[in-house]
Amino acid sequence: MTQIWPAKALSDMTAEELLAALERLAEAAPNDAALAKALRGELVRAALAEEAGVTPVRSGSLPASAPRPGSRPRTRSGTAGTG
């Protein structure tokens, strides 16, 4: 029998929920690398936020200026190495 899981945005999930989702993903879709990567990134974000005691903004996304876990810093073209 198929079990129905309620939908919840990754950004609204706690670290515990994200870890459970990663464990379930390993069983249900072990070859879904993109979803596993997204879950791991959100798990890092949630764990850091929970450790810092930050209440996440439940808007579904970070502000444009906030770096995502594992992202590279943005530089404007023509400015690298100057200054």
Q: What is the pLDDT along the chain (83 residues), one digit of tens a residue?
A: 566 667 788 888 888 999 999 999 989 999 999 999 999 999 998 889 888 887 655 555 544 445 555 555 555 565 555 55
Q: Which domain holds residue 35?
A: 10-52
21 is a domain residue: yes
The domain tally of the chain equals 1
Residue 57 counted as domain residue: no
For the record, the structure tokens of 60 come out as: 């579904």
Instruction: Give the count of beta carbons closer than 10 Å to the beta carbon of residue 18.
Output: 21
Report H helices in 1-83: 15-28, 33-52
**Is 72 part of a structural domain of the chain?**
no
Task: Tell me, yes or no, if the pTM score tops 0.75.
Answer: no
> Does residue 60 lie within any of the structural domains?
no
Q: Does 61 reside within a domain?
A: no
The answer to the question of residue 14 being in a domain is yes
